[in-house]
Amino acid sequence: MKLICVIGVGYVGLVTGACFADLGNKVTALDIDEKRIENLKKGILPIYEPGLEELVRRNVKAGRLSFTTSYAEAVKGAEFAFIAVGTPSGVKGEADLQYVESAAKSIAQNMTSPLVIINKSTVPVGTGDWVADIVKRAQPKPMGFSVVSCPEFLREGSAIGDFMQPHRTVLGSTDKDAANKVAQLHLALRAPIVITDLRTAEMIKYASNAFLATKISFINEIADICEALGADVKEVAAGMGYDTRIGRHFLDAGLGWGGSCFPKDVLALAYMAEEKGLDPRILNTVMGVNYERRKTAVEHVKSLLGGSLKGKTIGMLGLAFKPNTDDMRDAPSIDIASELNAAGATVRGYDPVSMDVARRIVTAVEMFNDPYEMANGCDALMVVTEWNEFKQLDLEKLKGLLKSPVIFDGRNIYDPAVMKGMGFTYRGVGRGY
């Protein structure tokens, strides 16, 4: 059993802390948000993630996981301190490191024994060296420590599985002994461990996310070409995916990517390149293609309704940026709702999980607690998030509730032939018509 503290109980920190506790370690998770910690002590989680609530409760009950707002309590006696705080985008796209800086200073001021400090947050290349300098300068008296980069590769909606069965663990440090200690902490996961220097480890995270974002933007551009030439992008992606050099993952055409990682990480990587006098043409194009998807979706709905959205009522099936999460950060639904409103449409929305979060963000959308109630009287529906429950909707019932049987399927969850056979005016993304 190792003594671990995790700084930050947001998405990454809470999953990391709960999973390490479930592996038999004693974990103290800290956050400066008193309300968030108070809720966690009551078993109320700040995020929705399948399986996480039960994991947290089980390990709290077992005495392996606790929560605090006190650095003195969290850091005292700890062998490892994970920094898992937010790094939001700044004005120019740069990563805002104020929370990392605050965490590093507070760790330095409260550590009572030698400590391995691990950057779990996604941070710009060079941050590990910067954190080491902050800790050294902030210590009341000199004490041994090392900094290790251990970027996270968690997908919202499957984060626990991603943590427990990772494709790889990436570690970077100038201190090989410290890196090996962190490697030992991850041995139970039985995954390949890549040990490299700090800057390379930090770059692996950015390069990985940028490449995955590129795959999505690429298949969306191919979808437009498929649509123009009469091909089916779903079949194209399937055929491409059998090639092991390409793979099938992240080749789903639709409304593009959103969430907390891809948007800010691609932007931050482009910013880092530009700061060094480089021209990140591919990264800038990847971002441009992605955000065009949202406007294009609205144009498709406008076309299906005869060229105008003025006075129309449009229902959105799904609001979160992806299924199995309540995360609304940079969700396509936000821009789509804004575009629809600007075109004169009334917008309705339904999501199985993210409604409470969405109400605070997309205030011009009328929320409904039932998809059929939401669809009643709509001129058209848009599939915005590919929740499984939408795949099993009673389509005949839905058709009878709509003012006109129009569906724009932004996630290609339905079969075009089936939908048209049922009498829907249907359009998917890149389905060849």
| CA dihedral over 9, 210, 271, 137, signed as positive or negative | positive
Pair of tokens at residue 402: 């709509």
SS3 label, residue 142: coil
User: Measured at the alpha carbon of residue 362, what is the angle toward residues 320 and 265, in degrees to the nearest 5?
Assistant: 55
| 169 in Cβ contact with 183 (< 8 Å) | yes
Pair of tokens at residue 226: 């498929």
Q: How many helices (H) and strands (E) does the chain have?
A: 18, 14
CA atoms of 133 and 101, how far apart (whole Å): 10
Active site residue 19: no
Pair of tokens at residue 259: 């969430």
| 195 in Cβ contact with 176 (< 8 Å) | yes
| 358 in Cβ contact with 319 (< 8 Å) | yes
Of 19, 150, 261, 378, which residue is the catalytic one?
Answer: 261
Residue with tokens 């009878």: 400
What are phi and psi for residue 191, nearest 5 degrees? Answer: -125, 155
CA atoms of 173 and 296, how far apart (whole Å): 44
Return contacts of 367-372, CB within 8 angstroms, 24+ apart.
371/317, 371/398, 372/397, 372/398, 372/401
Pair of tokens at residue 339: 């575009």
| Dihedral Cα 192, 194, 195, 201, nearest 10 deg | -140
CA atoms of 44 and 64, how far apart (whole Å): 18
Radius of gyration of the chain (CA): 23
| 227 in Cβ contact with 430 (< 8 Å) | yes
Pair of tokens at residue 49: 């993630």
SS3 label, residue 47: coil
SS3 label, residue 228: helix
CB-based burial label for 319 (10 Å; 0-12, 13-18, 19+): buried
Instruction: Name the residues annotated as catalytic.
Output: 261
